[in-house]
Amino acid sequence: MSTAGLHDAGSALRPGDAQEMLERQTEVLELIAGGAPLTAVLTEILGSLERLIPGACCSVLLLDRERGTLHHGAAPSLPAGYVAAIDGLPIGDGAGSCGTAAALDVVVVARDVRTDRRWVDFRPAADAAGLRACWSTPIDGRDGLPVGTFAVYHPHPHRPTPREEQLVDRYTHLASVAIEHAEALGELVESEERFRRSFDDNSLGMAIIGLDGTVVTANTALVALAGGRGGLVGRSLADVLVPSGSTLGARLAALHADDVAPVVFEAALRRDPAPEVQVEVTVSLLHGRDGEPAQYVVNVFDLTERHAAERHRRARTEAETARRTAERLLRERSALLAAVGHEARTPIQAIVGFAELLGTMDLDPDRRREALARIDAAAGHVMELLADVLDLSRLEAGALPLALEPVAVREVVEEVLGLLSDAAARRGTSLGRSLADDLVLADRRRLRQLLLNLVGNAVRHGRTGGAVEVRTRPGEDPGVVVLSVDDDGPGIPADLLPRVFQPYVHAARAAGPPEGGRTPDEGSIGLGLGLAHGLAVAMDGELAVGATSAAGTSMVLRLPRARVRRPRRRPSP
């Protein structure tokens, strides 16, 4: 503010006032720029005003907006007892000149505090300090609301003159600048302290690096994580961090492309001479005053504990899964053994019974042949049962011997239907086929065993007097032969369908049938489909339930098509 400007502000100012104010204002601004404490700045402002108004004592009270109280800011000439008495003064209409001015945001002039109604509660303190008049002006902040009060006291009744009003107006504005600057500086200092504490004391490794990738500063955690030997300041971050699958420069370039979201990546942190450690790195841009990128803020998180926890959790999960699987297999094997024992009991009893009959009775040739045939059939059933169990065990162990070769599907199907013709005739089931001349790459004996199980299962569980048909179907993959076995039985129960190829489940369901239940000729203990599925997989094929309903079930077998080498034609002589 120029001297001319001060003169123009009002003619009430005396010659020399403007120069004095300008010099004092310059000194105050220098104190503010130098970061002097607010009390020192306000004391300089009040001292300057007191020199311009002889006999006056000035003070500044600062407003605590949250509590609604005024507190000592500066009062170089007021008695210490009076300053202490009004420190913490609650604002309000009737709270003296300063309390009223802060509450109502108006200038309050008490010409004589002994008669002013607003000084009733404060007259003893004023009398003790020798104060008779008090003129208080609210100091407004940038939001237009009071941040404090500027008071001028006199030892006798007094009303401010126009000159004094202009002087106080100028110095009140200067006090407002000082208070706002102190608050902004205090917030900045607090912000810097919070940042310093969060940066230096953070357990997360942190660094600030320049745009050239050089470390400007690093906190204690990062230095310790990097090995704790020597400082990181001045080193290139690329010498310390090696991102996975990319370069540090490429990662930072991606950050510039977005300019908002930080980049997050895993990297190896080199720790010479200690082994490197895997870390997670988060990098964000720090902008300067001009809004342009100025530095990078880097956070480094040690993944060692996280990876160890993940490994531990994975190991516990795998161990729990293995335990449950072992328990399930144990239960299923126990059920299988129980079912096998039950299934074998009937034919063995038949063998024992007919053997006793042959040994104790003199039978005619026909009855003797019948008894021997029954013994032979029962023994065959037991042998087939044991062979199925043995094959299942070999399949589980991956030790089933196979001899893969081109096999004609039609030939094997005809052989299977011939073997099952008697069983089908006993149930009145017709056996049909609709086959193409396909060759599959399979083990002929195992393919026959597989189809015997499928067709036999269809005959046993199909409708009495019904039909079973084996047919080849067109498939989407020309390298695969599709074969289906269709029956007209009641279908597979919905609760069993998800586990239809698990032999132990079938065994558990089949164990212990009620009296009058299945006979050895009517069914099995559920090993057939499980064994058939295992054989299909062993021959690089697939067995699935194509469809099932009350109208019947279709089992679909897919096997690799065999490539037939055609003989080369010899060139004619």
Under the phi-then-psi rule, with left for phi > 0, alpha for psi from -120 to 50, and beta for the rest, what region is 343? alpha
Question: Whose CA is closest to 418, among 380, 383, 370, 456?
Answer: 456
Work out the pLDDT band at 5, boundaries 50, 70, 90.
Answer: very low
Work out the pLDDT band at 326, boundaries 50, 70, 90.
Answer: confident
Q: Which residues contact 534 (CB under 8 A, 6 or more apart)?
A: 391, 392, 395, 396, 400
Buried b (16+ CB within 10 A) or exposed e, 408-429: ebbebbeebbeebeebbeebeb
Cβ contact 391:531 at 8 Å: yes
Cβ contact 71:64 at 8 Å: yes
pLDDT at 295 over 50: yes
Structure tokens at 51: 């020199």
Question: Whose CA is closest to 251, among 238, 239, 240?
Answer: 238
pLDDT at 570 over 60: no
Q: Are strands 467-473 and 430-434 parallel, antiparallel or unpaired?
A: parallel
Show the domains of the chain with their CATH numbers.
3-192 (3.30.450.40), 202-302 (3.30.450.20), 400-560 (3.30.565.10)
pLDDT at 373 over 90: no
Rounded to whole angstroms, the Cα distance separating 280 from 303 reads: 7
Confidence at residue 491, expressed as pLDDT on a 0 to 100 scale: 86
The model's pLDDT over 385-415, given as tens digits with 9 standing for 90+, comes to: 666 666 666 666 666 778 889 999 999 999 8
The model's pLDDT over 443-464, given as tens digits with 9 standing for 90+, comes to: 888 888 888 888 988 998 888 9
**Single pTM value for the model:** 0.42
State mean pLDDT over 165-171: 89
Between 236 and 466, the more confident residue is: 466
Partners of 544 in the beta sheet? 556
First to last CA, the chain: 121
CA atoms within 13 A on the CB side of 235: 15
Between 287 and 428, the more confident residue is: 428
Question: Whose CA is closest to 172, among 45, 6, 70?
Answer: 45
Cβ contact 506:530 at 8 Å: yes
Structure tokens at 221: 């955690």
Q: Which residues contact 71 (CB under 8 A, 6 or more apart)?
A: 61, 62, 63, 64, 87, 88
Between 82 and 309, the more confident residue is: 82
The model's pLDDT over 259-278, given as tens digits with 9 standing for 90+, comes to: 667 888 888 888 777 778 88
Only one residue has tokens 């090696």, namely 242
Specify the long-range contacts of residues 179-183, CB closer than 8 Å, at least 24 apart: 179/38, 179/42, 179/62, 179/73, 179/139, 179/141, 179/147, 179/148, 180/141, 180/142, 180/147, 181/32, 182/37, 182/38, 182/41, 183/147
- Per-residue HEC secondary structure of 120-155 comes to CCCHHHHHHHCCCEEEEEEEECCCCCEEEEEEEEEC
Percentage of the chain modeled with pLDDT above 70? 80
Structure tokens at 491: 């279908």
The model's pLDDT over 8-60, given as tens digits with 9 standing for 90+, comes to: 444 477 777 777 777 777 887 888 777 788 889 899 889 988 988 889 999 99
Cβ contact 271:277 at 8 Å: yes
Rounded to whole angstroms, the Cα distance separating 515 from 424 reads: 24
Rounded to whole angstroms, the Cα distance separating 556 from 533 reads: 11
Between 471 and 379, the more confident residue is: 471
Which amino acid, 452? L
